[in-house]
Amino acid sequence: MTLKLRIVPDPVLRKLADPVKTVDREVSRFMHEMLETMYASAGVGLAAPQVGELKRVIVVDVEEEQNAAKAFMMADPVITWSSEELFTYREGCLSIPGQYAEVTRPKRIKVAYTDVNNQRIEMEAEDLLSTCIQHEVDHLNGVLFVDHVSKLKRDMMLKRVEKAQRLAAEEQQDGKAL
């Protein structure tokens, strides 16, 4: 089952997500639904607020050949260390469709999280995986990738998304008129 993606300016995207504490059967099912939604949307990462849930849960799969068995499903992820060396990547976001910007973040991180089996794990990530985890953890704190670019660029991107949504809604209304 795929979940409904939230698109800016949905207020849930700016809220702080709540800790999960335990990955039980319900949270595990939710993680799998998030993964299915991410794959269906051609994404490489997804955070629970992006599907309207204020839970500290993210899923990530940056591999060329995405595979749910190798994806990272993380509850309560905490970045415990980040390198001084930086990495710049052209980021996009399923909640800000069609918009991309160069964002610079730490090249390497260590992240501690609870996995889908309720085991606490710590791992290192670098380059794209590091960027993706940082991007998704930002979502859990109400931060969007556009917050890492200039105000002018951010405002332009958000206005483009809002205009596209408005036009799509108008087209949908026009299609219903008889």
> Which active-site residues does the annotation give?
136
Per-residue HEC secondary structure of 68-119 comes to: HHHCEEEEEEEEEEECCCEEEEEEEECCEEEEEEEEEEECEEEEEEECCCCC
Write the CB contacts of 68 (distance below 8 Å, at least 6 apart in sequence): 32, 35, 39, 61
What are the backbone angles phi and psi of residue 45, rounded to the nearest 5°? Answer: -160, 155
Return the H-helix or E-strand segment holding 169. helix 151-176
Nearest to 50 by CA among 67, 38, 63: 38
Looking at residue 57, the DSSP 8-state letter turns out to be: E
Return the H-helix or E-strand segment holding 171. helix 151-176
Side chain identity at 20, as an amino acid letter? V
- 3-class state of residue 58 by DSSP: strand
